Structures are given as C-alpha cells and as structure tokens.
Amino acid sequence: MITAEQLKDVVARVDALHHYLNIDKKKIEFEEEQLRTQAPDFWEDADRAREQMKKVKGIEKWLKGYNNVRSQAEELQLAFDFYKDELVTEEEVDNAYKKVITDIESLELMNMLRQEEDPMECVMKINSGAGGTESQDWASMLMRMYMRYGEAHGHRVTISDIQDGDEAGIKSVTMKFEGGEYAYGFLKSENGVHRLVRVSPFNAQGKRMTSFASVFVSPLIDDSIEVYVDPARVSWDTFRSGGAGGQNVNKVETGVRLRYQYKDPDTGEEEEILIENTESRKQLENRENAMRLLRSQLYDRALQKRKAAQAKIEAGKKKIEWGSQIRSYVFDDRRVKDHRTNFQTSDVNGVMDGKLDGFIKAYLMEFSGNEEE
C-alpha cells in the first residue's frame, strides 16, 4: 500500500510538470493556432496547411498528456481516501499509483527532448568492428535488438542497405526508423561503440571473446527541411541487387551507389560520402532513397558542427565522445552496463530483445540538459 508521502510526491511532480511544460501558455497557443486552421483560405496552400495541423496536434498532445496525469493524480487521491473507508482495495490503490507514475515518467522524459531534431525520424548505421566473424555476428545481433526496439515503440523499421558477413552475421547495415514518435530523440543515445564479451560459439576451445560494433544515428529529414546538395559533386553508378528470388535479381541493375564529394565549409577539407541503396526493385526509387539519406547525413554534419561550437562555449560541461565505447554486454556474467551513466541490468535477454528504455532514460536524464543552447 502506498504511503501519504508517495501520494504527496505524485501531486508535487504533476504540479512541477504544469510549470515546466508552461501549460497555461500552451492552452492559449493551442486556441490561437487552432483558429488559424479555420481561415477560409487555409487549405489553398496544402503544404503550409499540413505544417499548421502538425503544429496544432503537437501542442494538443502536450495538453492531453498533462490533463491525463492530472486527472489520474486526482483519482489516486480519491482512491487513497476511499481505502480508509474500505470502499476500494489496497491492490486497486497500488495499481492506480503504478499507472500514474508510469505516465508521469513518460511525460517527464518527453520534456527532455527539446531539441529541434528530436521529433524527427532517424537513420541508423551499424558497422562490425575488427575481428571477422565474431564482430559480424555481434553486428547482426545489434541489428535485431534495434529492430525489436523499433517495433515495440511503433516505428516502421526498414533496411536501406545490408552487407552480409563472410561466414555469419553482417559487415554493415543501414536502417530507417519511420513513424512512431521521437525516433531520433531517443535513439541518439545509442551513438558509439558497443562491446560484447561472451564464450564464442565460433571457437572450438570455447574461449571468452570480445567483439565490437559501432552504431551511428542521424536524423532522417523530409522535404520540409532544406539542405543544399551541390549537383556538381554528385556521381552515380548502378549494380545488380542481391537477394532471394525474383526475376530482377542479378539481371537488372536496380541497386544504386551515390558518391558525394563533401567539402567542409570551415576547413575546406574534402571527403567522399558513399551511400548504397537496394531498398526497392526500381532504380528510380533507390535513387530517391539514396538522395534522402545523403541529405540526412549533410543535415547531421551541420548539426554536429553546431553542437561542437556550443560545447566549446560550455567548456565546463561533460562531453560525450561519439567514437567512445559506450556500453558493455557481458553475457556470461549476465550484465549489460552503460559506461556513460553507470546504468546496468542483469536482464541480458530482455536487452537483446530491444528493452532499452532504462538505458535511454538514464542517458537523457544525465545528458539532455547539456544539449540545450
């Protein structure tokens, strides 16, 4: 049975959300923005109308979320009082408490995602590290883990490109997380090197082996965000897509390879960006997908430059090295530990099935404030 102090804490956290979320201001904004949708010429510009509707729904979502936890807190207070009069059971009170706490934590977590790019969909690339079959198998396990995570959170996960391993697993994969909410905001916490320690199934002596794979996540932009691509720096070639069955396989060159000669606007250094896409059986669609992935990469580079400049100004803040080892998965010790936050769990199977919310929340709790400008 919950205590009076726990009830008091719930009420205090709901009051704090009212302040943090600027609920009174959001109510006024919602009314004003909704009025704009009632203008006679509103749908004459379809693109602008869609953006306006998106804005209205965004504000409405925050208001509904807050109203939900406010009403649950009031119901919990009533249930707590009714229990004294034996009108409800202890189990009913505890269940009401668990529900409101879960929803409060969800809203608190969403409040940490304040960056412009956080609500965007995202692209994830996984590369196997040195170590051949071991690392390639580990990369495929990570791919499955993130696909499970995406499916559980309402994202549509599609593979844009995959390079199979020599004997098992994969050398690399590029995946898109579309639909759902705040794909980039949550998955940006996964950027970095992931380390696996296990008794190798590929080693006859049953030795304990260490494998590495890197994960890179960037926002997936749409046509509403302008990113300049210099056509003079783009070159294409095509290749035959691999895969099972189908008349097109190995006969028609539907796979596309895009090369972009990127020039750093600050240093003048040049670097080739290579993107392959075999998502569709139609070459034109693969070209469009490859261009979208290129624009996402260019947007992400500009974003990282902005963050780097901000980090220099805020020298006292703890920095995150994108290329650093962020998490260890030690299978025989039944332990997964994040080295940035020290969050850990013994539920190795759950983690590998995509249960990453604890790690993501710990990351956002510690580092989301460091991103604010």
Say what the pLDDT of residue 304 is.
82
Say what the pLDDT of residue 201 is.
87
Q: How many C-beta atoms surround the C-beta of residue 212 within 10 A?
A: 18
Say what the pLDDT of residue 172 is.
95
Instruction: Tell me the β-bridge partners of 238.
Output: 256
Q: How many C-beta atoms surround the C-beta of residue 95 within 10 A?
A: 12
The contacts of residue 108 (CB under 8 Å, 6+ apart) are 13, 17
Q: Please, are residues 258 and 291 in contact by the beta-carbon 8 Å criterion? A: yes
In whole angstroms, what is the distance from residue 100 CA to residue 71 CA? 9
Q: Please, are residues 122 and 218 in contact by the beta-carbon 8 Å criterion? A: yes
Tell me if residue 311 falls in helix, strand or coil.
helix
Say what the pLDDT of residue 6 is.
95
Give me the DSSP letters along 166-206.
SSSSEEEEEEEEESSS-HHHHHGGG-EEEEEEEE-TT-TT-
In whole angstroms, what is the distance from residue 61 CA to residue 29 CA? 13
Q: Residue 265 — φ and ψ, nearest 5°? A: -65, -20
Comparing C-alpha atoms, which of 319, 331, 296, 362 is closest to residue 121? 296
In whole angstroms, what is the distance from residue 340 CA to residue 76 CA? 36
In whole angstroms, what is the distance from residue 92 CA to residue 76 CA? 9
Say what the pLDDT of residue 206 is.
77
Give me the DSSP letters along 219-255.
EE--TTS-----GGGEEEEEE----SS-SSTTTS--E
The contacts of residue 32 (CB under 8 Å, 6+ apart) are none
Give me the DSSP letters along 274-289.
EEEE-SSSSHHHHHHH
Q: How many whole angstroms from its chain centre is CA 261?
A: 28
Confidence (pTM) = 0.70
Q: What is the CATH number of domain 121-220+317-371?
A: 3.30.70.1660
Say what the pLDDT of residue 56 is.
93
Say what the pLDDT of residue 323 is.
47
Tokens of 7: 């009830």
Q: Please, are residues 186 and 155 in contact by the beta-carbon 8 Å criterion? A: no
Domain ranges of the chain: 4-111, 121-220+317-371, 231-313
> Which class in CATH covers the domain with range 4-111?
mainly alpha
Tokens of 284: 């034109």
Architecture of domain 231-313: 2-Layer Sandwich (3.30)
Judged on CB neighbours under 10 Å (0-12, 13-18, 19+), 194 is buried
Distance, first Cα to last Cα, the chain: 43
Per-residue pLDDT of the chain (373 residues; tens, 9 = 90+): 899 999 999 999 999 999 989 999 999 999 999 999 999 999 998 888 988 998 899 899 899 999 999 999 999 999 999 988 888 899 999 999 999 999 998 898 888 888 888 988 999 999 999 878 999 999 999 999 999 999 999 999 999 999 999 889 999 999 999 988 899 999 999 999 999 999 988 877 878 899 999 999 988 876 666 788 899 999 999 988 765 445 445 567 889 999 999 988 878 889 999 999 998 889 999 999 999 999 999 988 888 877 776 555 444 333 333 347 899 999 999 999 999 999 999 999 999 999 999 999 999 988 875 554 4
Say what the pLDDT of residue 322 is.
36
Say what the pLDDT of residue 248 is.
47
